[in-house]
Amino acid sequence: MILSIDIRATTILARIWKWLLFHSFFVVTVYFLMKYLHVNISMATIISMIGIVLSILMGFRISSAYDRWWEARKIWGAVVNDSRTLARQLITFTSTAAIDPVHLQGMVHRHIAFVYAMAGRLRHQNTTEQIKPFVFEDEWHSLANRGHQPNLLLLHNLYAFKKMEADGLVSNFEFLALDGTMQRLTDSLGAAERIKNTPFPVPYSYFTSFLVHVFATMLPFGIIEVFGYIAIPIAISVIFIFLTIEQIAIEIQDPFANKENDIPVTAISQAIEIDLKEMLGDRDLPQKDNAKNGVLM
219-250 pLDDT tens trace = 888 888 778 888 889 999 999 989 988 888 88
Of 211 and 10, which is predicted with more confidence? 211
CA distances, 254 to each of 149, 262, 283 (Å): 22, 7, 37
Task: Note the pLDDT tens digit of each residue in 109-162.
Answer: 999 999 999 999 999 888 989 999 998 888 888 888 878 999 999 999 999 999
- Residue range(s) defining the domain that contains residue 109: 89-199+260-283
pTM attached to this predicted model: 0.86
Picking from 85, 137, 138, the residue whose alpha carbon sits closest to that of residue 108 is 85
Q: Is residue 12 in some structural domain?
A: no
Q: Is residue 47 in some structural domain?
A: no
- Domain tally for the chain? 1
CB of 247 closer than 8 Å to CB of 20: no
Q: Is residue 194 in some structural domain?
A: yes
33-37, 61-65, 241-245: segment of lowest average pLDDT: 33-37
Q: Is residue 279 in some structural domain?
A: yes
Q: Is residue 223 in some structural domain?
A: no
The identity of residue 197, as a single letter, is N
The identity of residue 163, as a single letter, is K
Q: Is residue 231 in some structural domain?
A: no
- Categorise residue 235: left if φ over 0, alpha if ψ from -120 to 50, beta otherwise: alpha
CB of 247 closer than 8 Å to CB of 65: no
Q: Is residue 131 in some structural domain?
A: yes
pLDDT the model gives residue 297: 53
pLDDT for residue 9 is more than 90: no
Picking from 115, 113, 132, the residue whose alpha carbon sits closest to that of residue 80 is 115
